[in-house]
Structure 1
């Protein structure tokens, strides 16, 4: 079990910066609704503005999503303070933290209070998503894996 609590925050910061940088590039280079093929028949960058959560659920509930993101950030900080986390759990929580903050920044600072989505895989016909979304999903998977591997111990 690692004692370095900073891993979580470094991962979160890297995700947040990369997410916002890529979204800025997408907004600057692609008109909304336009696409650029990255790998023909596999993946493209499609610029969409999502007013809701995953799959565009609960559209235009900006402050609900902001409150949820704040709760996630608070929970991550509490878990990191309360438990001695494995490196795997720290990376998972860092991905979750960075993803939650990345989408929250979009909701708060975008003039339309929407989230910029841009990755579309033809092969799986999954909705268009972004780095923050992928980070959240991967973070949750890593957290689940870390629990099977004994990813934390409660502090006395």
Structure 2
């Protein structure tokens, strides 16, 4: 399940970025859902909300650490819902990490392709949507006390949804 979701997240991110690069001019804006969401192509050297824009290498290292951490945690997976959450995180982190290496200026310092403009609040991409979905699932699992192994805090084995 983790691999399937990771592939889906990665593919949807990379395909959507390729379409955006092909169809949108840099900085050009197209309305998608009224004034709420539009399409505007930018290269983001930082993270969400362009945080860390001057520290692209730090963003690259963080993404690589996330990938290694997921691989480590995945060994103890006993929960399908955790597999979905970690798969979404894995695929999206890999999608943005790919941009760091293949987009200008490259070599781990490339700019991530962002194109979904949330009414001027920030501009993101499909990987960001997967990251938010993963974060919501992880918070819910933590609040429910369901560990990566599928066990609840009180120690009984339970396979979740």
If the TM-score is normalised by the length of the shorter chain, which range does it land in?
0.7 to 0.9
Q: Could you tell me which residue of structure 2 aligns to residue 127 of structure 1? A: 122
Q: Could you tell me which residue of structure 2 aligns to residue 4 of structure 1? A: none
CA shift, 1:92, in A, is: 0.7
What secondary structure sits across from 2:66 in the alignment? helix
Structure 2: any 5+ residue segments left out of the alignment?
Answer: 152-161
What secondary structure sits across from 1:104 in the alignment? helix
Q: Could you tell me which residue of structure 2 aligns to residue 27 of structure 1? A: 21
Q: Could you tell me which residue of structure 2 aligns to residue 36 of structure 1? A: 30
Contact residue 77 and residue 83 of structure 2 kept, 8 A: no
Q: Could you tell me which residue of structure 1 aligns to residue 5 of structure 2? A: 11
Match of 1:77 among 66, 71, 77: 71
Q: Deviations over 1:57-106 (max 9, x none)?
A: 1224333222211111111111110x233211111111111111111111
Q: Could you tell me which residue of structure 1 aligns to residue 100 of structure 2? A: 107
What secondary structure sits across from 2:39 in the alignment? strand
Contact residue 88 and residue 151 of structure 1 kept, 8 A: no
Please state which structure has a larger fraction of its residues in helix.
1
Q: Deviations over 1:104-130 (max 9, x none)?
A: 1111100231011111223xx530111
CA shift, 1:29, in A, is: 1.0
Structure 1: any 5+ residue segments left out of the alignment?
Answer: 1-6
For CA contacts below 8 A with separation 6 or more, give which structure has more relative contact order: 1
Contact residue 86 and residue 146 of structure 1 kept, 8 A: no
TM-score of the aligned structures, taking structure 1 as reference length? 0.86
Q: Aligned ranges for residues 43-54 of structure 1 at < 5 Å?
A: 43-54=37-48
